[in-house]
Amino acid sequence: MTPTIHLVDGSLYVCRAWFGQGPDVFDAAGEPAHAVHGFVRFLLELIERARPSHLAVAFDLSLGGSFRHALYPAYKANRPPAPPDLQRQFAACTALAHALGATVLADAGFEADDLIGSALAVARAAGHRGVIVSADKDFGQLIGADDEQWDPPRNQRWDAAGIRQRLGVHPHQVADYLALTGDPVDNIPGVAGVGAKTAAILLAHYGCLDAILARTDEVAFLRLRGAAAIAARLREQAAAARLSRALTGIATDAPVPDSIDAYGRRGSDANMHDLLDRYAFGALTRARVQALAERC
């Protein structure tokens, strides 16, 4: 069986835990710790279910300083800054992911997506397949023939064929698809008036964004509702489409460990018990941590 690396979008699951429930648990200092507890439960369940031999958890540290902000200062400008409490719990989740034996990936110039894409490139070179643990559609562009994307809390798992069913495009077209449709969550402009269905039709016909932009005059003659208006928008907004494509592509050259051995899951480290005390974890979580440590 092909060896597998599990690559976790840590920021997504921390945010889910923080927004998904109120501050109903507290650490030893009396500060809210609900995101910490929720994230640790998620990570323990993942390790228990998948028994990963290689595991990395990526976190966003770039905030306003990634290479995408240099290309487009308005990138993610619609998002409010993370509250101090969320930032504090992010730091705790990073420490606990490391203590649970995962390789932690974080960099001020690259987002979690790029760190995962780069780690996957290292793993593929070593003959591993990837399981990307996230619900984010952007990761569809990384899914190869042997890879999967998995969202454990929702019990959803999909492969390259699943990307096609979800978005209407092949994995290698996902970044172009997002460049055409735009992404309001990340404040990526895209091409106004080009929605998901139109983007999928254009990519099915032309193959890639560059070909679409090179042949915009032909778009007016497609059997597509509003084809002439779409062709005009593509001509007028070609620069926005190319900028969007630079933003939607996931980097595979971010600074991550370049040996597959660096991603091997370790047993719990020496700080684990101190962290469990600091964040007031109960007996059940401690027993689960101990059981995982004994299996390594």
What is the Cα–Cα distance from 286 to 296, expressed in whole angstroms? 16
Quick one: pLDDT at residue 79? 86
Query: pLDDT tens digits, residue range 239-259?
Result: 999 999 999 999 999 999 999
Under a CB-based contact definition with an 8 Å cutoff, are residues 250 and 139 in contact?
yes
What is the Cα–Cα distance from 51 to 3, expressed in whole angstroms? 12
Q: Which residue segments constitute the domains of the chain, with CATH numbers given? A: 4-163+250-295 (3.40.50.1010), 171-248 (1.10.150.20)
Quick one: pLDDT at residue 194? 96
Query: pLDDT tens digits, residue range 170-215?
Result: 999 999 999 999 999 999 999 999 999 999 999 999 999 999 999 9
Record the tokens describing residue 151, joined without a space: 């969202």
